[in-house]
Amino acid sequence: MKFRAVLLAAFCALALACGPALAAEPQVPMFWDAKERLPKPDLSGLARLRFLTTTDFPPFNFLDGEGRLSGFHVDLARAICAELDIADKCQIQAVPWAELDGMLQSGQGEAIMAGVAVTPESRLKYAFSRPYLRFPARFAMTKPTAVSEPVFDKLEGKRVGVIAGSAHERMLRANFPGVKIVTYSRQNWMLQDLKAAKVPAVFGDGMRLGFWLAGSEAGGCCRYAGGPYLAPEYLGSGLAIATRADEPALAAAFDAALHQIAVKGVFAELYLRYFPVSFF
């Protein structure tokens, strides 16, 4: 639940590789080995495939101006169905978050695509696809002072803002012991101090920072510096599709479809459609 809240707050704030922020050529992440061969399953016996999602998880799932279910997850689900040759059997239904699990377990849906966190506990209840999107940590600095990789020595002794008690604080302390950590209880206070150059740098969720960097509140003040940094031990394994625990074959089918969607460039098109400011 906390994971969904972080992503929702990130979107609302707007309305280990390295690359520049807001680059002319956005970096699209690739989480699959193009040489890997995943067998395409035969789903001809499947009566229907119902993806369950919500409407309060933008830009992943939301209602557009005309009340239609839209978002990255909606378009990705359609792409999966097309890749598996079952587009005519696919449905995408939005329900309140609290009802997702009950509908899946009672057979009123076959998959959840709504940011269910992959944890040891959730793996007891669900079979998951491989992650299709991960969320890196990033530094942000004012444009005149932003540094590039390697940043370890360049940030030595500098004050770096981070949200108190967060996974990003733990990650920063463990991997950048030379920085002087300044903790904040609120994201907007931290970003205001960055914009005013009261702290030289901040460290946090790359997607949330990306929305802010591209938004009016930042006023073009800042950019990414170094990174991105993927650390599953701190940040989790990313987004995956959840099915019932007794449906591992369906999760494997999603893996095969997601692999081909990535290799064929469909994922890149969807990623840039919904995240024009890449957080990678």
Question: Based on the domain organization, do 181 and 220 belong to the same domain?
Answer: yes
Q: What is the pLDDT of residue 268?
A: 96
| pLDDT exceeds 70 at position 187 | yes
Instruction: Please report whether residue 144 resides in a domain.
Output: yes
Say if residue 74 is in the same domain as residue 144: no
pLDDT over 50 (residue 6):
no
Over residues 64-90, mean pLDDT: 95
Q: Is residue 70 part of a domain?
A: yes
The CA–CA distances, whole Å, from 33 to 133, 170, 215, 233 equal 14, 30, 34, 22
* Same-domain status, 127 and 39: yes
277 near 211, Cβ under 8 Å?
yes
Give the closest residue to 137 by CA, choosing from 176, 185, 192, 100: 176
Q: Domain of residue 267: give its range.
A: 31-134+237-274
Are 128 and 76 in a shared domain? yes
Kindly state whether residue 1 falls inside one of the protein's structural domains.
no
Residue 276 pLDDT grade (very low, low, confident, very high; cuts 50, 70, 90): confident
Kindly indicate the confidence band of residue 44, based on its pLDDT and cuts at 50, 70 and 90. confident
Q: What is the pLDDT of residue 215?
A: 92
Same domain flag for 270 and 202: no
> Any idea what the CATH number is for the domain that residue 190 is in?
3.40.190.10
> Mean pLDDT across the chain, nearest whole number?
90
Which strands make up the sheet holding 69-70, listed edge to edge?
56-57, 61-63, 69-70
Read off the pLDDT of residues 81-94 as tens digits, 9 standing for 90 and up: 999 999 999 999 99
Q: Is the pLDDT of residue 12 over 80?
A: no
In a domain, 127, yes or no: yes
Q: Let me know whether 169 and 127 are in one domain.
A: no
Question: pLDDT class for 25, splitting at 50, 70, 90?
Answer: low
Q: Is residue 20 part of a domain?
A: no
Whether 162 shows a pLDDT value over 60: the answer reads yes
Q: Kindly state whether residue 25 falls inside one of the protein's structural domains.
A: no
Per-residue pLDDT, 232:
94
2 within some domain: no
Are residues 244 and 162 located together in one domain of the fold?
A: no
Are 60 and 96 part of one and the same domain?
yes
* Number of domains forming the structure of the chain: 2
For the cut 90, the answer to whether the pLDDT of residue 13 exceeds it is no
- Quick check: is 9 in a domain? no
Residues 80, 152 share a domain: no
- Asked if 108 and 189 sit in the same domain, the reply is no
Kindly tell me if the per-residue pLDDT of 37 is higher than 50.
Answer: yes
Q: For residues 1 and 162, which has the higher predicted lDDT (pLDDT)?
A: 162
C-alpha angle 196-185-4 in degrees, rounded to nearest 5: 110
Band of pLDDT at residue 26, cut at 50, 70 and 90: low
Q: What local confidence, expressed as pLDDT, does residue 2 receive?
A: 38
- Whether residue 267 is predicted with pLDDT greater than 60 in this model: the reply is yes
What is the pLDDT averaged over residues 237-262?
96
pLDDT of 166 > 50? The answer is yes
Residue with tokens 């799932």: 61
**Average of per-residue pLDDT across 178-207:** 97
| pLDDT at residue 23 in the model | 40
Residue 218 vs residue 18, higher pLDDT = 218
Q: What is the mean pLDDT of residues 226-254?
A: 95
- pLDDT at residue 128 is higher than 80: yes
Chain segment 170-185, per-residue pLDDT in tens: 999 999 999 999 999 9
Same domain, yes or no, for 80 and 160?
A: no
- One domain for residues 214 and 154: yes
Does pLDDT of 126 surpass 70?
yes
